[in-house]
Structure 1
Amino acid sequence: MGEIEDGEADHITTDVQGQKCALVCECPAPESVSRKDNLPFLNAVLKNPVCKLYRFPTSDNKWMRIREQMSESILSFHIPKELISLQIKEDLCRNQELKELGELSPHWDNLRKNVLIHCDQMVNMYQDILTELSKETGSSFKSSSNKGEKTLEFVPVNLHLQRMHVHSPHLKDALYDVITVGAPAAHFQGFKNGGLRKLLHRFETERRNTGYQFIYYSPENTAKAKEVLSNINQLQPLIATHADLLLNSASQHSPDSLKNSLKMLSEKTEHFVHAFKDQLVRSALLALYTARPGGVLKKPPSPKDGTEENSSQDPPPPMRRQDSIPHHSDYDEEEWDRVWANVGKSLNCIIAMVDKLIERDADSEGSSGGGQDGEKDPSLVDSIITHPKEDWYEQLYPLILTLKDCMGEVVNRAKQSLTFVLLQELAYSLPQCLMLTLRRDVVFSQALAGLVCGFIIKLHTSLHDPGFLEQLHTVGLLVQYEGLLSTYSDEIGMLEDMAVGISDLKKVAFKIIEAKSNDVLPAITGRREHYVVEVKLPARMFEILPLQIKEGQLLHVCPVLFNVGINEQQTLAERFGDVSLQESINQENFELLKEYYTVFMEKMPPDYISHFQEQNDLKGLLENLHQNIQAKKRKNVEIMWLAATICRKLNGIRFTCCKSAKDRTSMSVTLEQCSILRDEHQLHKDFFIRALDCMRSRQTQGALNESDDPETGCLSDNKPTSRHFYPVALLLVSSHLLVVWLILSLALLLAKYQ
């Protein structure tokens, strides 16, 4: 946010003496906030800001000024709609590939028909959800009261930016951003059987132990099959385009253009060839061979051998009918090697031809420049080059055609075999498999919407920081989630969903492009295993970026989750339940954070690291965090403080999540803000509690309470508030009070459900 204007400063000095809350005023016009921030581009992402102004004394009796702002984000709905559209296209493409799988034995054909029926139903469901989302108008965020609605299940709950701008007399102005959002979870589907972490593990265990009807492929192999299929779909049209550009350069007789076109064609073709150097493709081809009716292997005509331009195709071998299940010896495994190797051979022929054309052209120019015919080197008179200079196009065209034919043969076989791998995943326990896919899509959509919002805000805030921009394209961006879910009842399932959804963010990369129009909303491309989010910047902002980012380098993120349950239910879980889920999540994510720190220290420039180490004792903080995770202390909030501090010092994005991003989230965020004022900006120690109460008061923090919905705009004064953690604080004083509290709680529960 921008600096506070002088007019505001005069107004701030007029607070009433003796008032507990140091709130000065509420910014009435959102436009003024955008103007002062000098970041109008953020208006495309943030809407309806609510701004509060405070002043607090420092330790040397001077005054600091604080502006607190909470904003909605229209990405709450935009990102899910983009994502669902992509998933519909992906599923339609997969269904078409299943239909084109060819003739299968009755067993596999029946499975395929069953899979297609269920997949078509899922596509229709996604289309209905997308239609309903497109009708949504009004509020740009989903309220907690709607978290169980089916049509809104892809939308995150209460996604907001919580921003604190500190204008301190000692330090330069500072911004502190936290994205608050409800824990990514499938609330509509419920948590009766647990969340994604448990459901996926159970599903894979059962599928691994399934009977003879299916062929088991590990999740890694299934993901690899999807990756290769995606590479095929991307590389084949690119290679065809570069091949046409090569022919165009040949028709123009431009040696330089011919070299450049050949370089691009070679790079893409080599990527294409290497994509099939995997044992999975071989095993999938054999599995598909055994699934053909009666063991019939239908071999299309062999592609042209790239070493012989004009050789005729060999006739297809006669089809052989085997017993019901053919033996491995009936399948020629070397045939696949020959098929995809022909692509490389065809490319080599094109390279040789281009080299000879350019060499002959250079020799002819040198000969004519000498003013005499002179004898040419016999080695340059190759049998391939028998046409005059004007026939470059005609000499390259047959080789390009051969390359495309060989590629078509490879693509046809690889697509069918890898689609057969995907059929295995879908055929087993069809309803459960598709419902797991739906649940994972729902959770991922909620997590991605928050991530994109946080990335764009962080990019705009740090756009003029060269160190951050270098870190962004060299190491990637750290994204730290603070979870406040308990390991009790339904929140166990929410935490399991959240852990998988945040882990899935590793397959997201960002790409920054220059905006060509007024539409600056981010766009998404890719597939479920790898998404690319394109962030658009105006030209004046795009020019600030380093060359690597401007050239389209993908920017990766490192998401980590640390969870500490802090409510009354967590007390029950720690006394009588199981907290192993929380412990394992924290330990796993500490290893990820430690790995990010190691890469950061290795790849960042030494001068930046030396300056960085002077300001931040990150190694000590990491060791302290590890000790606290290993200590297994009850309600160890030190884990949250340390993780948040490390994230801020590593230029990361901070998220705070609980069930609905209201009560516990507001408690955590306000406490973090006051702690920052104390530790970083010398807030007077006697005013820490006052500042905390001020930020949490109903008059200044209306909205973040379980009994007071911000979206409804009403207060329920007759309901008790847990904003100050009075129950938890009392329970920590004495074990006797805990026993009394448990007895009273059980009595209330019995009375409630009788």
Structure 2
Amino acid sequence: MEPRDASTNSLPSSYEQSPNFSVLFRNPISREYTVEGIAVSEGTLFDGNNSDKTLRSTSFVVHEVMAEPAANNIVPMKLMEFWYNGLSAFRNLICAPTDPAISRDDPSIDVLLGGLDRTRSHMFANFNILGKESVASFKKSTEKTDFSKVFIPTNLHLQSLSIRPRSSDTLQAMVRRDVTTVGAFTAQHKGAAMFATRRDYSGCSTETDNEKVPPAGLEFLWKSLPGQTLFDDDAGSSFVQYPPALEKFRAVVGLAALWEKICSEYFTDARAPCETIDGSLLKKLSSDSDVNERRSVWQCMGSLLKDVIKAYGGTASMDQWVVRSVDNLQSTLDGECPHIRSSSPKQVEVERKMFAALSEIFRDILNPDAIDVQGLFFRECIVMSQMITATVSAFLGQLYDCKSLDAVLLEQIRQEGLLIYYESLLSCWMDEKAMLEDMIGGFELLRRIEFVVPAARDDEKLDVNDIRVDYGSRGQMEIRLPPNRHVRQANSGEDLRFNVFPVLLNIGINEEASAAISQSKEDLQTAVNKYYGERLMEYTSKLGVDDSTLAAARADFARHLANSSVPKNVDLLHCAQSLTRLAHGLRFTMCKSAKDRTAMAVTFEQLTHVHQYSNGLTVSEYDRVLTEMRRNGTRRENTVKNIGVALYAFAQEQVEHLPAVYQPPPGTFGKSET
């Protein structure tokens, strides 16, 4: 069976008729196959009684499409601008104290400013590079260590499969299944390696007995820092607790950014905030006709201030001056506060206290333990940029291109969050273990972000550039997606606000996974699968109480979860795929580069959908279709796109370590660049 190659720039009619596909995705590559399925004249092959069934062959047309999300460089640029502005505001306030008792000669100030300036310069350089039209937004797997593209996810693609009976050309008869493929979210590259190494926290030298010291990821680094954060009221709600030093840093950067935003919105000149302490800011705020907006500003500042106090471990562990500063600031944060409506001299006094409080809180971030807070923050930003970009790209593809919201699904997303399932094929060995640790850290931060989908007018056109990043009313990052008319129709004209419910399951399948298994170094994978597997069970337990299909899928997943320590138990991943689809979640598949192991995984998943849709394939047809997808499909083309060679990067001895269903056909693999 030779697939018909629908050229790299043309699409099947089902995608061409999708109104937003060309807006959301670029450079599509498509392949078309005809598959011979098996059907029965009555009943089904799977009812346990096939002896009297009359079988007949049925043909299906299968399309696979691989395309680059348009948000691939737009989202990183929005995020870098957001973080850069926050760090700049923080720097401005540190450098402009209003209380003469605060020494300007503190040498630790120079250390802090030096770290801030390094981080800001890295972001600024990346932002400028991505903004050039001549720079391709797609990041090849060979560019994993390219510092100029460090904020972009590696090899990010929509992988879409559509199936329809050959006798029908209607969209109604088509089934579409999407998965987003992407390389590991990680800061393991030359430019950021200086910020976080396992050596720095283990006391090891660069080399130990001529053996390479393993790199460290965020999860390892967070656990190595002193103290326990009080951010989460429920200690069991996080896989790893976020360090207080970083919690405090994030909160005060947020306060600084919000304060500068307030000043810039109420002052038209370019004076620095410290030069505007004349009562006019509060006077203008008090006369603002938009009471709700004013109240929202104070609510956001209040939430951030509470995060600062939690990061300190409560007021009991705070310096007396900082406590007094916090109290002074807190007294102004209510929009109905009498101070705001009092005379001008009182406004000057309150405004000066607010600024002094902010300045003192920011200066107190200086850490006596010499933790490289800015470096770790920068590393987190890299991981978060890659993860948020992939998540937003998948959500745009699902909601804006092929899925409309109904009231039930809308309520599910609003109440329980949007389920996103990341399927990872990384090993727990050396560099890949650090990548897994980075992703764990990113997931803990991703849960805090609030996403907003504004309600759009019927005539409003989709523009990916409409994505906005800001601080929400709860003090956490808020990402506003482009307006969507489905939201207006299903949500009574109101915007949709939600958080994501991330699930990460990891099964290492390569030769490095075999090494980790042989040396009993899979503890991290076991812990990750147990924690996030239970979260997936928790999420799906709240859906479809009377849904027998969902109940069966949950039971199947629970059975494999109980055996998650079985070596290379990829069945756990397959069960999670089915459960996520039934729960209307988003699907992601990833490995180190999203090129080789990922190709084997998504082609097997595609074949599973074809098998289910056609009521079953014969053994010979099953093997034939899988081989054709891997030999002539879009994922083989992906290898050319990344490394210029149509080869999956496996040596023969590496193939032998892969599970049978993930082994490439002969002639399609060989030693090559990853």
- Give TM-score scaled by structure 2 length: 0.75
Is the partner of 1:635 in helix, strand or coil?
Answer: coil
Provide the rounded CA distance (Å) in 1 between the counterparts of 2:281 and 2:300: 15
Deviates more, 1:648-657 or 1:268-277: 268-277
| C-alpha displacement of 1:661 | 0.5
Q: Is the 8 A contact 2:329 2:354 kept in 1?
A: no
Is the partner of 2:521 in helix, strand or coil?
Answer: coil
In the TM superposition, what whole-angstrom CA distance separates every residue of 1:391-414 from its partner, at most 9, and x where no partner exists? xxxxxx964868955762553244
Please identify the structure whose Cα radius of gyration is greater: 1
Question: Is 1:487 aligned to 2:428, yes or no?
Answer: yes
Q: Counterpart of 1:504? A: 445
Q: Counterpart of 1:117? A: 114
Q: Counterpart of 1:592? A: 535
Question: In proportion to residue count, which structure has more helix?
Answer: 1
Question: Is 1:696 aligned to 2:652, yes or no?
Answer: no
Q: Counterpart of 1:711? A: 642
Q: Counterpart of 2:476? A: 530
| C-alpha displacement of 1:481 | 0.5
Question: Is 1:660 aligned to 2:603, yes or no?
Answer: no
Q: Is the 8 A contact 2:217 2:438 kept in 1?
A: yes
Q: Counterpart of 2:59? A: 63
Distance 1:49 1:111, change over 3 A: same
Q: Which of 597, 605, 611 is residue 678 of structure 1 equivalent to?
A: 611
- Letter paired with 1:505: L
Q: Is the 8 A contact 1:44 1:521 kept in 2?
A: no
Is the partner of 1:156 in helix, strand or coil?
Answer: coil
Provide the rounded CA distance (Å) in 1 between the counterparts of 2:299 and 2:380: 34
Deviates more, 1:649-658 or 1:80-89: 80-89
Is the partner of 2:572 in helix, strand or coil?
Answer: helix
Q: Which of 558, 572, 575 is residue 623 of structure 1 equivalent to?
A: 558
Question: Is 1:456 aligned to 2:396, yes or no?
Answer: yes
| C-alpha displacement of 1:220 | 4.5
Question: Is 1:433 aligned to 2:366, yes or no?
Answer: no
The residue correspondences of 1:601-620 to structure 2 (distance < 5 A) are 601=543, 609=544, 612-613=547-548, 616-620=551-555
| C-alpha displacement of 1:473 | 2.4
Distance 1:79 1:276, change over 3 A: closer
- Letter paired with 1:524: R
Is the partner of 2:645 in helix, strand or coil?
Answer: coil
Distance 1:231 1:173, change over 3 A: same
RMSD (CA atoms): 4.1
In the TM superposition, what whole-angstrom CA distance separates every residue of 1:80-125 from its partner, at most 9, and x where no partner exists? 2221122211110111121134446669822112211231232122
Provide the rounded CA distance (Å) in 2 between the counterparts of 1:475 and 1:694: 40
Question: Is 1:126 aligned to 2:123, yes or no?
Answer: yes
Distance 1:288 1:77, change over 3 A: farther
| C-alpha displacement of 1:454 | 0.4
Q: Which of 146, 149, 166 is residue 146 of structure 2 equivalent to?
A: 149
- Letter paired with 1:590: G
Q: Counterpart of 2:274? A: none
Distance 1:26 1:242, change over 3 A: farther
Is the partner of 1:116 in helix, strand or coil?
Answer: helix
Is the partner of 1:66 in helix, strand or coil?
Answer: strand
Q: Is the 8 A contact 2:178 2:587 kept in 1?
A: yes
Provide the rounded CA distance (Å) in 2 between the counterparts of 1:530 and 1:155: 22
Distance 1:682 1:103, change over 3 A: farther
Distance 1:267 1:223, change over 3 A: closer
Question: Is 1:161 aligned to 2:151, yes or no?
Answer: no
Distance 1:565 1:146, change over 3 A: same
| C-alpha displacement of 1:691 | 1.3
Provide the rounded CA distance (Å) in 1 between the counterparts of 2:110 and 2:360: 17
- Letter paired with 1:188: H
Q: Which of 190, 195, 217 is residue 195 of structure 1 equivalent to?
A: 217
Q: Is the 8 A contact 2:288 2:294 kept in 1?
A: no
Q: Which of 405, 419, 435 is residue 362 of structure 2 equivalent to?
A: 419
Provide the rounded CA distance (Å) in 1 between the counterparts of 2:292 and 2:567: 61
Q: Which of 64, 70, 73 is residue 77 of structure 1 equivalent to?
A: 73
Q: Is the 8 A contact 1:511 1:554 kept in 2?
A: yes
In the TM superposition, what whole-angstrom CA distance separates every residue of 1:663-687 from its partner, at most 9, and x where no partner exists? 1001011111112222343132322
Distance 1:597 1:81, change over 3 A: same
- Letter paired with 2:84: I
| C-alpha displacement of 1:40 | 3.3
| C-alpha displacement of 1:67 | 0.9
Deviates more, 1:134-143 or 1:73-82: 134-143
Is the partner of 1:521 in helix, strand or coil?
Answer: helix
Deviates more, 1:618-627 or 1:438-447: 618-627
Long gaps (5+) in structure 1? 1-20, 208-215, 250-260, 291-330, 351-396, 602-608, 733-747, 749-754
In the TM superposition, what whole-angstrom CA distance separates every residue of 1:23-67 from its partner, at most 9, and x where no partner exists? 2x1222635447744223232221111111112122221112211
Provide the rounded CA distance (Å) in 2 between the counterparts of 1:58 and 1:153: 45
- Letter paired with 2:126: I
Provide the rounded CA distance (Å) in 2 between the counterparts of 1:414 and 1:497: 34
| C-alpha displacement of 1:489 | 2.5
Provide the rounded CA distance (Å) in 2 between the counterparts of 1:410 and 1:115: 24
Q: Is the 8 A contact 2:636 2:647 kept in 1?
A: no
Provide the rounded CA distance (Å) in 2 between the counterparts of 1:727 and 1:401: 75
Q: Is the 8 A contact 1:616 1:649 kept in 2?
A: no
Q: Counterpart of 1:100? A: 96
Q: Is the 8 A contact 1:22 1:56 kept in 2?
A: no
Q: Is the 8 A contact 1:164 1:673 kept in 2?
A: yes
Is the partner of 2:588 in helix, strand or coil?
Answer: strand
Long gaps (5+) in structure 2? 40-56, 198-213, 230-242, 267-279, 663-670
Provide the rounded CA distance (Å) in 1 between the counterparts of 2:16 and 2:152: 28
Distance 1:122 1:225, change over 3 A: closer
- Letter paired with 2:109: R
Q: Which of 349, 365, 386 is residue 446 of structure 1 equivalent to?
A: 386
Provide the rounded CA distance (Å) in 1 between the counterparts of 2:89 and 2:414: 33
Q: Counterpart of 2:24? A: 45
In the TM superposition, what whole-angstrom CA distance separates every residue of 1:517-552 from its partner, at most 9, and x where no partner exists? 7743242323698322222146x55643413xx433
Q: Which of 478, 491, 511 is residue 546 of structure 1 equivalent to?
A: 491
| C-alpha displacement of 1:692 | 0.8
| C-alpha displacement of 1:727 | 4.4
- Give TM-score scaled by structure 1 length: 0.68
Distance 1:690 1:451, change over 3 A: same
Deviates more, 1:182-191 or 1:152-161: 182-191
Is the partner of 2:33 in helix, strand or coil?
Answer: strand
Provide the rounded CA distance (Å) in 1 between the counterparts of 2:547 and 2:349: 54
Question: Is 1:474 aligned to 2:419, yes or no?
Answer: no
Distance 1:236 1:140, change over 3 A: closer
In the TM superposition, what whole-angstrom CA distance separates every residue of 1:169-194 from its partner, at most 9, and x where no partner exists? 89942111110111111231357432
- Letter paired with 1:673: Q
- Letter paired with 2:646: L
Provide the rounded CA distance (Å) in 2 between the counterparts of 1:680 and 1:241: 64
Deviates more, 1:457-466 or 1:636-645: 457-466
Is the partner of 1:624 in helix, strand or coil?
Answer: helix
The residue correspondences of 1:262-661 to structure 2 (distance < 5 A) are 283=315, 287=319, 289=321, 340-341=330-331, 347=336, 399=342, 408=351, 411-424=354-367, 428-429=369-370, 432-460=372-400, 461-513=402-454, 514=456, 519-526=463-470, 530-537=476-483, 543-547=488-492, 550-598=493-541, 600-601=542-543, 609=544, 612-613=547-548, 616-629=551-564, 632-661=565-594
Provide the rounded CA distance (Å) in 2 between the counterparts of 1:720 and 1:420: 52
Provide the rounded CA distance (Å) in 1 between the counterparts of 2:535 and 2:65: 32
Q: Is the 8 A contact 1:625 1:643 kept in 2?
A: no
Q: Is the 8 A contact 2:187 2:382 kept in 1?
A: yes
In the TM superposition, what whole-angstrom CA distance separates every residue of 1:253-311 from its partner, at most 9, and x where no partner exists? xxxxxxxx667766766776687678569849962738xxxxxxxxxxxxxxxxxxxxx
